[in-house]
Structure 1
Amino acid sequence: MTLHPSIAAVRVPVRAALSRLSEGDVVAVACSGGADSLALASAAVFEGHKLAQRIVGVTVDHGLQPGSAEQADRVVAQLAAMGVDETLTARVEVANASGLGPEAAAREARYAVLEEVAERLGARAVLLGHTLDDQAETVLLGLTRGSGGRSLQGMRPDFGVFARPLLGVRRDDTITACQVEGLGFWDDPHNHDPGYTRVRVRDRVLPVLEAELGPGIAEALARTADQLREDTLLLDELTGEALARARRPGGLDISTLRLEQPALRHRAIHRTALEAGVPASELTRGHVLDVDKLVVGWRGQRWVDLPGHRRALRREGLLVVEPA
């Protein structure tokens, strides 16, 4: 019997991800009960067991909605029915005092608990169910922030113990795969709440782009993310070399730094500010350009105020970032 195309679309990248691991390895799959993560879990069981790997289904209950504990129980039952070797439920507290929005705070708490779970299980990988559609939404959101190539490179296919094998798979395929396999997936009400910017991008912005500019917008955005990720890796390496040339005890040598190309000089300033304690979420390109004027456009400015109670200034031929 021919395998359904949507099931194949999910299984092929999961097989590729798991084949990089070894026989007997533990693989955790984060599963919310949505179509993306259920399709991922099903594929991980099918492909992982062929490789003699141990598949653990992990459900994280954020406690943000009424009935979240019952939903977590339903997911555990689904995971057990599809044949995972072990199930695990973790309840997290989403801190309101973190300074993040509810979505970002929940994500931060989720990754923290998944890292802890991976350490306790000795898992070689934690699989996440983000799809190509999620990647396209992330790139568009990065574009609206105007914070350069780093924000446009989207989600990384893997980082630390985490892997996202479905970043090249459309959401339609994960939904269809679940339907073909008879997996009843949960449709999170938050996914339809227009109060979230990501939901508006998903339900309003991307459909308009597809209608007005033609099909393939999501794929094009995902390709852009891949290309920018490669460029950013190279620029990060070159920035490290530029910083090594300019570093002196107490700061960066201005005469050396000013010879660097603007792209590297700006990145070196940005990285130096972060290392000095400037909050990444508050450091803007405007701040970086103001500091750059201390290097290439100095007219006697005393200093540049930066977020996090820091300031940049010239001192004895050095660029210094210090507490204000």
Structure 2
Amino acid sequence: MRHAVRDWLGRYAPLGVVAIGLSGGADSLALTAAAVAEADAVDALVVDHRLQDGSAAVAAEAAAVAMRSGCRTARVLTVEVGRAGGMEAAARRARYAALDEARDGLPVLLGHTLDDQAETVLLGLARGSGGRSIQGMTEFAEPWGRPLLGVRRAVTRQLCADLGLTPWEDPHNSAPEFTRVRLRSEVLPLLEEVLGGGVAAALARTAAQLREDGAALDAVADNLLEEARDGNGLVLETLTTAEPALRRRVIRAWLLGGGAKSLTDSNLRAVESLITDWHGQGGVAVAGSVTGTRLVAAREHGRLILGSDHGESDRGRHHH
């Protein structure tokens, strides 16, 4: 655990001062203990989602443990969890927003382990949006740091036991209505049994390789995007002959740059068909980052252009 944290600090936080998202569970408790041993200063941030009775007491206890463990500060952040997109997603959004606001410019370490990485890869596999969806979590995506992606969950539990720390057991972590819980308790153990062990580590390795491949392809696609740019539009001729994997990456980067959000594989393929399978179809609508805005990618005079229709009538536009 200490080696994992030390390596991470050496690469991403040379000043040695970090914040930690502490839930009170085994992973984040063990991470806090290792970080206190390795970093110059650690500020613990405990999010109280207020989704369960007694959550305030759990948060207060986690903050107290953080101070006893040697953290410089420990703060409880109380959040309001909405309902949009299901409770899991809403709680996650509220948690990350609170941590981001409270981190005071520091990177925030999170206790995601190799087992979490394996679960993330399996969840991404079900989305079916190509290599990007199974790249898993990255060690550092400003401001989020994940030093434990190479460490098994069992190791964090063992460290807590060795140090006499009692982790909080979140009832949500054993509630079968959550997909991730079923992956953890049913699917991964079955895969380990059927495929002969080492599955979690293999999934994590695959994710790491895909992240490297993805970074290389993105770099090539960035060059192609610059080549194809014409003002705010894209020159079709430049993209017609490109490899499909690069072309879709260019389209994705262009749409995101124009304010699109949560793009799906079918969005990208529908926009791509304006280039590769043109037969007079209307523009393709994608969700914009401003609520209520719909962005429409359309083909016009040898260019792809992006406009917004603010949810007005679609006059012959195909929705994807």
* TM-score in same-fold range (> 0.5): yes
Distance 1:146 1:43 in 2: 36
**Residue 279 of structure 2: aligned partner:** 299
CA deviations on 1:254-288 (whole Å, 9 max, x unpaired) are 111112111111122223233334331xx332232
Query: Equivalent residue for 1:287?
Result: 267
- In the alignment, structure 1 residue 170 sits paired with structure 2 residue 152: yes
Letter in 1 for 2:261: P
Q: Which of 87, 109, 120 matches 1:138?
A: 120
Higher mean C-alpha deviation, range 270-279 or range 34-43: 270-279
AA in 2 matched with 1:100: G
Tell me the secondary structure at the aligned position of residue 56 of structure 1: strand
Verify: 1:322 aligned to 2:310, yes or no.
no
Aligned to 1:153: 135
Shift of 1:79: 1.4
Q: 1:310, CA displacement in angstroms? A: 3.2
Deviations 1:264-319 (A, max 9, x none): 11122223233334331xx3322322322221222233433444533332211111
From the superposition, tell whether residues 244 and 13 of structure 1 become closer, same or farther in structure 2 (CA, over 3 Å). same
User: Structure 1: where are the runs of 5+ without partners?
Assistant: 1-9
What is the aligned partner in structure 2 of residue 129 from structure 1? 111
1:251 matched residue in structure 2: 233
User: Does the residue aligned with 1:233 lie in a helix, a strand or coil?
Assistant: helix
Residues 56, 310 of structure 1: CA spacing in aligned structure 2 closer, same or farther, 3 A cutoff? Answer: closer
CA distance in 2, matches of 1:88, 1:321: 44
| 1:185-235 deviation line (CA, Å, top 9, x unaligned) | 111000001111111111111011011111000000000110111111112
Partner Cα separation in structure 2 for residue 303 and residue 180 of structure 1: 61
Cα 1:237/1:204, change in 2 over 3 Å: same
- Whichever residue aligns with residue 113 of structure 2, its letter is T
Give the counterpart of 2:68 among 52, 57, 81. Answer: 81
Q: 1:300 to 1:30 in 2, by over 3 A?
A: closer
AA at the equivalent of 2:173: N
Q: Provide the secondary structure at the position in 2 that maps to 1:194.
A: coil
Change (3 A) 1:274 1:85: closer
Specify which of 37, 45, 53 is matched with residue 58 of structure 1.
45
Over the residues paired in the alignment, what is the CA RMSD in angstroms? 1.7
2:49 aligned with 1:69: no
Distance 1:247 1:77, change over 3 A: same
* Aligned with 1:239 (options 221, 225, 246): 221
Instruction: Report deviation, 1:28.
Output: 1.4
Match of 1:30 in 2: 21
| SS of structure 2 residue aligned to 1:134 | helix
The whole-number CA distance in structure 2 between the counterparts of 1:274 and 1:147 is 16
> Looking at both structures, which has the greater relative contact order when contacts are Cα pairs under 8 Å and sequence separation is at least 6?
1
How much has 1:162 moved relative to structure 2? 2.1
Q: Is structure 2 residue 45 aligned with structure 1 residue 47? A: no
**1:54–1:310 Cα change, 3 Å:** closer
Change (3 A) 1:288 1:38: same
Describe the shift of the 1:164–1:306 C-alpha distance in structure 2 as closer, same or farther (beyond 3 A). Answer: closer
Match of 2:92 in 1: 107
The equivalent position to 1:274 in structure 2, one of 256, 281, 296, is 256
- The answer for the alignment partner of 2:312 in structure 1 is none
AA in 2 matched with 1:219: A
Higher mean C-alpha deviation, range 189-198 or range 270-279: 270-279
Q: 1:211 aligns with which of 193, 197, 205?
A: 193
Counterpart CA distance in 2 for 1:186 and 1:208 is 26
* Count of aligned pairs between the two proteins: 303
Distance across 2 between alignment mates of 1:304 and 1:251: 15
SS of 2:267 mapped into structure 1:
helix
Q: Is the 8 A contact 1:272 1:321 kept in 2?
A: no
- When normalised by structure 2's length, the TM-score is 0.89
